[in-house]
Chains A and B, each alone.
Chain A
């Protein structure tokens, strides 16, 4: 296995799928000559040319809408939004069209569109550039929501997304692009809808996705020193959502914390908490807790930003209180 970064893993996935299927093409702001704001599409223009790797104007609503049209026209577009914050300008096309077309037209049309977007805070970029907006999309039926945490998942999940026919919002955390991990040399896919148990434990289940997976693993290591044995689950995607893996774990441990970087209120974690109590109420020894971003826009100052974001220390604090 090769050790590569999350960024390189995504780049490989795109390259392999562009090679494999000529219906696949990429468009977005700065994706071609510059290779993407986070360099994920680096080198692809040189290999595949301007027809398939297209730099667009700063026009998010229309880039996504054109992606929908191209998908309905028989292609497999991958639209990169420079960050999810700017994806808000495309919300209408995502919610009113991408997510509805298959259903609204009686299953007779499909929109095999993958929208990739970096997201997340922690870099002192302020309120408009630091958001984690997965809950907005999770709320909307008809669109898949995928958030890889590791390089291997980034590659395998992105390839699966490109090969299936539902619209997908594929959210990459800005802090993860440089993270390295083992990625198989041979071709592989990671199927959608299968959570990954990254650490086995019997006392407590930590459920997260995207960057918070690393916070959970760090918290689990620290808890181990205190004799607390935490299980860590990476959901990988919120839609489809693998509740079976979560419920199996919670039935075993009786305690769970959901960790996510969206806002606390109405975040994806709230949905998971609700489903745990619906399905496993009798197995719970304590209320299911959440560690999430404070209900404030993201402050610029570093100290305030740290106070707003989830962290291993906050997870440990909640875990200690629970046990």
Chain B
């Protein structure tokens, strides 16, 4: 599959935006400038970027507690994202959602969920809505390896299979659910094989290779759009940062992974991988990538400024938006 230059640059931009945004959020949380639980996805950028590049604007996604990257890849604006994390009225959720729930409904995102596995049936229902309304939109469900042990995963795959729903289940397997290594709590080595139990295709994908992710996602999306039913993709990747920013404080001395393992995965950085591809392909020169990085850095600075300067909600707003 030949991928056009514009799309290649778009995927790189998405990865850079995720990397820089997440790094900033981590630093702000570490400095106690922003509160709550923040889960960042540094190291996992390629799955969000590659999958969302295969989608149209009207296609839907569901996201997770580690959801900033999904929103960014779908086209989210950093300023409203940052303002939400600051709890400001100008944030995507008017300061009521926070890091775990930032979404932009104009971009077809049906929520970022703090409940593990909750997005699976919601994505399935969104795909059902497209079928009933005769829209050829596809829904992508992002979830973690840990979520694949919840009943919702199994029930959703079965339902989508029997109704041939236009949904793509994207498992971002980063090797851990919180501090528990996946293999100690999961019956299979590859989540993708679970697809067989539901009679649908399942593929293991190199989740740090944005081009491979894009190719598998495009095929799965095309199948879904053609009415051929769901696909399970398992993007193997790794999170460089903790499960939650600041986890060292309560982990104490109890490390659950080695520095060596983290460094091995850092050596497989999805951004560096793309840069190498760009250099080798001869299609893109380094200056173009550099420009994307600079533009993103400026965008991020503006986002933080916007967030800091935005007003807080008034106490009376607490009672707004409970009902339509």
Contact = CB atoms under 8 A, between A and B. Distances in A.
B185 A55 contact: yes
Interface in B186-210: 186
A132 to B, nearest CB: 16
Contacts of B116: 58, 86
A301 interface: yes
Interface string A57-79: 11111100000000000000000
Interface size, A (range): 35 or more
B237 to A, nearest CB: 18
Interface in A48-102: 55-62, 85-86, 89
A205 B45 CA distance: 56
Contacts of A34: 178-180, 251, 254, 256
Contacts of A307: 315, 318
Interface in B258-290: none
A300 B96 CA distance: 5
B149 to A, nearest CB: 4
Contact of A33 (B113, B149, B256): B256
B319 interface: yes
Given A58-B177, A126-B114, A127-B101, A304 B150 contact: no
B180 A29 contact: yes
B37 A58 contact: no
Contacts of A29: 177-178, 180
B252 to A, nearest CB: 9
B36 A58 contact: no
Contacts of B178: 29-30, 34, 37
A10 to B, nearest CB: 16
A304 B117 CA distance: 28
Contact of A304 (B114, B151, B315, B322): B315
Nearest to B36: A124
B23 to A, nearest CB: 21
A299 interface: yes
A30 B180 contact: yes
A303 B35 contact: no
Interface size, B (range): 35 or more
A172 to B, nearest CB: 16
Contact of B179 (A30, A125, A127): A30
A228 interface: no
Contact of B149 (A30, A35, A58, A296): A58
B313 to A, nearest CB: 6
B312 interface: yes
Most buried by B among A39, A300, A303: A300
B36 A125 contact: yes
Contacts of B96: 126-127, 297, 299-301, 304
Contacts of B147: 58
B95 A304 contact: yes
Interface in A117-169: 123-129
B35 A124 contact: yes
A308 interface: yes
A304 B313 CA distance: 8
A258 to B, nearest CB: 22
Given A55-B185, A86-B115, A296 B322 contact: yes
A302 interface: yes
Contacts of B318: 294, 296, 299, 304, 307-308
Interface in B220-275: 250-251, 254, 256
Given A58-B149, A123-B36, A297-B322, A302 B180 contact: no
B100 interface: yes
Given A34-B180, A127-B96, A296-B322, A304 B317 contact: yes
B87 interface: yes
B175 interface: no
Given A33-B254, A62-B151, A128-B115, A301 B313 contact: yes
A313 B113 CA distance: 33
B313 A35 contact: no
B319 A58 contact: no
Given A57-B186, A58-B150, A129-B100, A302 B315 contact: no
Interface of B: 35-37, 87-88, 93, 95-98, 100-101, 113-117, 146-147, 149-151, 177-180, 184-186, 250-251, 254, 256, 312-313, 315, 317-319, 322
11 contacts: A33-B179, A55-B185, A59-B150, A60-B150, A61-B151, A128-B113, A300-B36, A300-B96, A300-B97, A301-B88, A308-B318
Nearest 5 A/B pairs, CB to CB: A300-B98, A57-B149, A301-B87, A57-B185, A128-B114
Interface of A: 29-30, 33-35, 37, 39, 55-62, 85-86, 89, 123-129, 294-297, 299-304, 307-308
Given A34-B178, A59-B149, A85-B114, 14 more contacts: A37-B178, A55-B180, A58-B149, A125-B36, A126-B98, A126-B114, A127-B97, A128-B101, A299-B95, A299-B96, A301-B95, A301-B96, A307-B315, A308-B318
